[in-house]
Structure 1
Amino acid sequence: MTTPHPGAARPRPQPDQESEFFWTSGRDGRLRFRSCTACSALIHPPQPICRHCRGHDTDVRAVSGRATLIGFTVNHRFPLPGLPAPFVVAQVAIEEDPRVRLTTNVVDCEPEDLRIGMRMEVVFEQAGDTWLPLFRPAADQPDPAPLPADDPPPEYVRGHVRRPPVTSRFEDRAVISGAGASRIGRRLMVPPLHLTVEACEKAVADAGLTLDDIDGLSTYPGGGAYGGFAEGGVTALESALGIRPVWHNGAGETFGPGGSVIAAMLAVAGGLARHVLCFRTVWEATYAELVRQGKIRLPRGNTADGWFKPFGAASPAVMLAMNAQRHMHRYGTTRETLGWIALNQRAGAAGHPDAIYRDPLTMDDYLSARPISTPFGLYDCDVPCDAATAVVVSAAETAADLPRPPVRIEAVGTQIVERPEWDQATLTHEPQVLGQAAHLWTRTDLRPPDVDVALLYDGFTFNCLSWIEALRFCAIGEARDFLDGGKNIARDGILPLNPHGGQLSHGRTHGMGLLHEAVLQLRGEAGARQVHNARTAVVSSGGLTPSGVLLLRTDR
């Protein structure tokens, strides 16, 4: 297995006041965590309060350094200084409190010899003034241990969901009145704000409005250093359009791109605005090309923030791969299960003239594709591209004046039930889908069989599988049978899934493209890929935590 490259330094952690004790514990070879003195729970990442008993009295406690291997992936695609690919990223559950997990690397063992449930022990590697806790198989190996229990378990998440506090629903006071999309492609070499304006002008015109009618702006993630994943946010677009909004919103800590739409719904439902323009732009492909050409310079240095990057977990693919592996371990899911999702999206993209990948894809193609981060291969991953998408959220009382039938919002799902930290959350599904999906069904009398078309986030195939089970289109752990053969998710199946090709084949529009397709499907404007008599659609967004989900309907 890959070990740090001689002469190269892997990324070093960036300790702060809360975490310095953890990153320097290895100086004496002892692993330490913050611990609650009242209930003895380990607290990781370090916090000033225990999330279990909410006690405030904590101290730092040394533990045995023993743990159970609960997941691992061989990362083939994302090398880092000192960590040339391939290398193993793993997660372990700490023996003294298995609710606490560490993302780490495995040493002194070949990947093919690793098994979920193995007993592990800590060893430390010095990186500057810090010590990285790595793990190796312990000399004594009892029978493999089961995966630790989730809190709450996937099957019982619904018991933690809060019912609506009032009978009136803000969803009834908002509609989606317009939708627009810019050109889409690989390396368009167009400044991202140009794409944003293009999509926004189309959305406003589609709603039968002018830019002067727009009195709100909402986006995700907003301005800031987001590389190829933003155009500058509300500030940049308002500067370009000059519309003087009475309300605006831009934030990364919301329910993905769907969060900008939900915020806009609340604004119009509360009477703060009448027409809110929601937008999302990605230009990752061009950004990467400009970095390659030296026209954009990435920050230098060998430090890494967070709890993942010092161990080479620099991509969501690496983290989500371990969740997929655990689903396979617990429920018997196979790579072919994920393959049916990839094949379905490619078949849908063939009917979309703007889709980036439209050539036929076979199961042999899928299974033989180059590995990315096991069990994910190339076709488990979405397609980086340049594109912008926009929708207009309007007050419901304006619907009679709209040129097209409005798309109504039946319900939203937003509740966080799991822990927000990726490696402390649900083990066997994408984090932050179970609670949001369960919350959705508390806000409507409709049920999963009432859904005519599903636009489910597919940054990776496993995202889709997680949403399918979370939304109860099949029971937890039954996706293998539900997806087998691909018939159930085909355009003429019981749950038509991402009929435009999704992000796996149409292109990585970061969830907003799913909403755009839902609008077209509910209007009956999707052309060759139209789902027959589509009147209800579910749309999820996310891919990172947190996420959200919307249930849409039409009166046509």
Structure 2
Amino acid sequence: MSNKSDPVISGVGQSAVGKFVDRSPLLLTIDAIKEALDDAGLTLADIDGVSTWPGRVETMLEMAPVGCDDVIEALRLNVTWYNGAYETAAQYSAIGDAVAAVRAGWARHVIAFRTISQGSARKKPEEFPSVHPKGIAGVMANTLPYHAYSAANWVAQYASRHFHDYGTTREQLGQIAINARRNGALNPKAIFREPITMDDYLAARMISSPLCLYDCDTLSDASTVVIVSAADTARDLRNIPIRIDAVAQALPGRYTWDQPVEPACYPTARRLWELSDYSIKDVDIGQLYDGFSFLTLQWIEALGLCPIGEGGRYLEGGHRIARDGEFPINTNGGQIAAGRTHAFGYVREAVRQLRGQAGETQVDRDMKVCVTGAGGGPLSMAMLLARD
């Protein structure tokens, strides 16, 4: 299954994470880069590529405050390739594009980063102006007329349909949030470190039925960095390289369609298995998107852990997805407990788990393969990471 030409993750790093971190987005990014370089045993002189998603976007600085140009200039990097774009499949496009660049020989060590400042934007909105053009386009054209203003509303519609068609219950879905908070209690960087019970979950304030407060991730200030390196650099690295076995994405419909074909995670997962010699039976652990808990349920089904429609029954009791269960999920607390990092936090946790360096969140078994998924609804990417 190993392909010696596959690019590897040579280093991972993360800044301070919190609801409000009194540090600029660029400085948070630099903090994460320094930690990733130290993790890999590399220097700034080794870096010849930079990649991010979605780049710096002036109309939504709270979500996209730092671009490639900012990092290249601040660190005086001499790069041969860089990339930052919004119109891509999902957050992992920054990593997937870095993999493609390394494979093509355009760069040998690429910093892929994701920085977010939604916590600060909530506290100091005057520093993060959002100027949106007039008119409604894309997915919003079909949701705003029905007063579905936020992602919580959109995901709630998917969840409601699943509940109706397959008999899924809140008690089943709640196991994802309970598992996240249980794991978050072991993660010193998690924003929420207090476990919750099923009674707590069922009593929580409803956000968009059937999703309650505990089904939603939390806004944060954070930067996470993944360094993608050429395979032949592995012998020079400080830590165990983690091979990127496969990267997949899909767009099953169009943003302008009022009737989606299917959530993009399903065709993404099918494509992932087409690109790899691994199957779900070979995978030891999952770091699956939980911007909302229902998205994790969809990934569980899409990846083949259970048939479509049986995700609720798979989650019954929460035993399967626990750290000591048959398929541990979101061992650092996910975004529900550890804070929104737009999927990059999952990659950091996956690398640390596969190396056996995850500290208190470490799963007590020898693990070789991790699957990680990003996005929900029309956004979707997935990766298989392996320790050879």
TM range (shorter): over 0.9
Amino acid at match of 1:496: P
Match of 1:546 among 371, 379, 385: 379
Alpha-carbon distance, 1:465 to partner: 0.3
- C-alpha distance in 1 between matches for 2:198 and 2:87: 37
Match of 1:218 among 46, 51, 69: 51
- 2:43 aligned with 1:203, yes or no? no
SS at match of 1:491: coil
- The superposition leaves residues 142-167 of structure 1 with CA deviations (integer Å, 9 ceiling, x where unpaired) of xxxxxxxxxxxxxxxxxxxxxxxxx9
Match of 1:240 among 55, 74, 78: 74
Change beyond 3 A, Cα 1:339–1:195: same
Change beyond 3 A, Cα 1:235–1:301: closer
Structure with the greater alpha carbon radius of gyration: 1
- C-alpha distance in 2 between matches for 1:266 and 1:302: 36
Change beyond 3 A, Cα 1:445–1:369: same
User: Superposition pairs for residues 243-258 of structure 1, below 5 Å?
Assistant: 243-258=77-92
Normalized per residue, which structure has more helix? 2
Bigger relative contact order, structure 1 or 2, given CA contacts below 8 A and separation 6+? 2
- C-alpha distance in 1 between matches for 2:175 and 2:253: 28
Contact 1:304/1:310 (8 A) holds in 2: no
Aligned residue in 1 for 2:207 = 372
Alpha-carbon distance, 1:303 to partner: 5.9
- The superposition leaves residues 378-404 of structure 1 with CA deviations (integer Å, 9 ceiling, x where unpaired) of 001001111100010000011111111
Alpha-carbon distance, 1:513 to partner: 0.4
Change beyond 3 A, Cα 1:326–1:433: same
Match of 1:465 among 294, 297, 315: 297
- 2:161 aligned with 1:329, yes or no? no
Amino acid at match of 1:552: L
- C-alpha distance in 2 between matches for 1:327 and 1:544: 13
Change beyond 3 A, Cα 1:392–1:329: same
TM-score calculated relative to the size of structure 1: 0.66
Amino acid at match of 1:219: T
Change beyond 3 A, Cα 1:203–1:423: farther
Give 5+ residue unaligned stretches, structure 2. Answer: none
- The superposition leaves residues 207-228 of structure 1 with CA deviations (integer Å, 9 ceiling, x where unpaired) of 1110111000000011212231
- C-alpha distance in 2 between matches for 1:290 and 1:422: 36
Aligned residue in 2 for 1:107 = none
Change beyond 3 A, Cα 1:392–1:314: same
Contact 2:6/2:243 (8 A) holds in 1: no
- 2:178 aligned with 1:346, yes or no? no
User: Superposition pairs for residues 63-82 of structure 1, below 5 Å?
Assistant: none
Change beyond 3 A, Cα 1:385–1:487: same
Alpha-carbon distance, 1:310 to partner: 4.3
- 2:241 aligned with 1:409, yes or no? no
SS at match of 1:228: coil
Amino acid at match of 1:500: N
Aligned residue in 2 for 1:382 = 217
Match of 1:229 among 42, 63, 72: 63
Amino acid at match of 1:266: A
- C-alpha distance in 1 between matches for 2:358 and 2:171: 29
- C-alpha distance in 1 between matches for 2:278 and 2:222: 33
- 2:24 aligned with 1:191, yes or no? yes
SS at match of 2:162: helix
User: Superposition pairs for residues 43-442 of structure 1, below 5 Å?
Assistant: 172-224=5-57, 225-291=59-125, 294-299=126-131, 304-305=136-137, 306-307=140-141, 308-421=143-256, 423-426=258-261, 431-442=263-274
- The superposition leaves residues 267-306 of structure 1 with CA deviations (integer Å, 9 ceiling, x where unpaired) of 1111111000000011101011112xx4544449986554
- C-alpha distance in 2 between matches for 1:418 and 1:322: 17
TM-score calculated relative to the size of structure 2: 0.94
SS at match of 1:176: strand
- The superposition leaves residues 519-542 of structure 1 with CA deviations (integer Å, 9 ceiling, x where unpaired) of 100110011111121211001112
- C-alpha distance in 2 between matches for 1:425 and 1:175: 35
- Which range is displaced more, 493-502 or 198-207? 198-207
- C-alpha distance in 2 between matches for 1:301 and 1:249: 25
- C-alpha distance in 2 between matches for 1:299 and 1:419: 25
Change beyond 3 A, Cα 1:414–1:300: closer
Change beyond 3 A, Cα 1:491–1:421: farther
SS at match of 2:337: helix
Amino acid at match of 2:376: G
Change beyond 3 A, Cα 1:461–1:421: farther
Query: Identity percentage over the alignment?
Result: 45
SS at match of 2:62: helix
- 2:345 aligned with 1:516, yes or no? no
Contact 2:252/2:261 (8 A) holds in 1: no
In the comparison of the two structures, how many residue pairs are matched? 383
- The superposition leaves residues 179-238 of structure 1 with CA deviations (integer Å, 9 ceiling, x where unpaired) of 000000111132111111110111112111101110000000112122311223111111
Give 5+ residue unaligned stretches, structure 1. Answer: 1-166
- C-alpha distance in 1 between matches for 2:144 and 2:121: 21
- C-alpha distance in 2 between matches for 1:383 and 1:472: 28
- C-alpha distance in 1 between matches for 2:116 and 2:131: 20
Amino acid at match of 1:502: G
- C-alpha distance in 1 between matches for 2:182 and 2:285: 16
Amino acid at match of 1:432: A
- C-alpha distance in 2 between matches for 1:507 and 1:498: 12
Contact 2:287/2:371 (8 A) holds in 1: yes
- The superposition leaves residues 57-98 of structure 1 with CA deviations (integer Å, 9 ceiling, x where unpaired) of xxxxxxxxxxxxxxxxxxxxxxxxxxxxxxxxxxxxxxxxxx
Alpha-carbon distance, 1:471 to partner: 0.3
